[in-house]
Amino acid sequence: ENLSQSIQLSKKTVFVMTDKYAKTENFKIAFYLSHQRLMDEKVDVIILIFLEKPLKKSKFLQLRKRLCGSSVLEWPTNPQAHPYFWQ
């Protein structure tokens, strides 16, 4: 219930992604709830930040990156580039 309420009341829902996290039940539930908000309210609240290279085989992620490219981000592997990520 807290998760659902948090997603409903938030402006954006940020997912910091790893391959391991993408397979968890918590992620699946939170992502589903966020996606429902997109369908119900026509408001995209999802921001994906990948700490690792995105799953290349995921057709959904490829489609999401094409349609909502500004909300699918990759964390830079070069530590010197980290400050530029937030600009």
pTM: 0.79
Would residue 52 count as lying in a domain? Answer: yes
Domain limits at 39? 2-77
Tell me how many degrees the CA angle 23-25-86 measures, rounded to the nearest 5. Answer: 65
Residue at 83 is within a domain: no
User: What's residue 66's pLDDT?
Assistant: 79
The pLDDT value given to residue 14: 92
The residue ranges of the chain whose pLDDT is under 70 are: 54-57
In the chain, the number of structural domains is 1
